Amino acid sequence: MTNDARPLVVLCGKIHPDGQALLEREARVVLTEDLSEANVLALAVDAQGILFRGKPMCSERLMAACQKLKVVGRHGAGLDIVDIPAATRLGVAVVHAPGSNSQAVAEHALMLMLMCVKRAVEVDKGTRAGNWFARDDASNTELGGKTLGIVGIGNVGRRVAKFTGALGMRVLAYDKYVPDDEVRRRGAEPVASLEALLPQVDVLTCHTPLTAETRAMINDKTLGLMKRGAIFVNTSRGPVQDERALFKALATGQLAAGGIDVFEEEPTPLDNPILNLPNVIVSPHAAGVTREANRQTAVQVAGEMLRVLRGERPDVLVNPDVAARLGLR
């Protein structure tokens, strides 16, 4: 039994020390690395706040069992692990950290594009083996002069547009939630539909949240609309792509190369056939993981959670309908 009257916050996984220290100024903080739902439930039954990274899912069952819960935080921008309608029904505020890792993800996407067109892994491997074939092989290409298609021109996509525009790419974007004039301000030419975008691009990059609309939007049909020999990059969410269709496109040459940071199942099984393709660059959902982004994300979401716990309205409240119920002002 403790006499500490500060609210209890449970951290589902480690965060940057600066974010944890910020929470500890005003809350009792319990960190767990056992991310099973049962363990989190046991620790959080009296919690007023829970901070989620990737696991467990922030389900209705979990939130309903924590009857003192006022706020759940998502470490990052994506909200696909949070049952937002359930949180709203239960009167639980949902906060996150949009934009906190946008620079990191945009840089990673650009890196994957460059590694694909420069065949970086193959060239590195050959050079280490004493094979200087790349000097006499004109298979490497340039991004300058090519057309890039961006799906989702939000915090990450607009940075990718800026980077690639500076390299001399023609930048197109499809985002049904951003007006055309704003798309242009963000450095891209607006395209009305995904189907209109795909045949035009040499490189396609996805920066969209995972929703019912975007799930498996990269599939047999949409990949078939792309130019043969185009490049596909995904640093958003794995289920945006149908991996069976993606493998087929990469294996048959419909796609020349792919840069894949996210997978339908994570960690992806070692027998995932995509991992055996020589024309694919892969990383472990690490695009947004840098020292700078880790700190910014942790501090940003910790600050949002503390605002709710103080009775203040956070800067970004995902479900504003709960504000009155929680007395946020």
Known catalytic residues are 237, 266, 285
C-alpha count within 13 angstroms, C-beta hemisphere, residue 308? 34
| Residue 254 DSSP code | S
H/E run at residue 234: strand 230-234
Strands 93-95 and 147-151: unpaired
Here the tokens at position 216 are: 């498996």
DSSP output for 36-76: -HHHHHHHHTT-SEEEESSSS-B-HHHHHH-TT--EEEESS
Here the tokens at position 94 are: 């949902």
Q: Nearest Cα to 39, choosing from 53, 51, 23, 56?
A: 56
Residue given tokens 């525009």 in the structure block? 165
Could you give the CA distance from residue 323 to residue 262 in angstroms, rounded to a whole number? 34
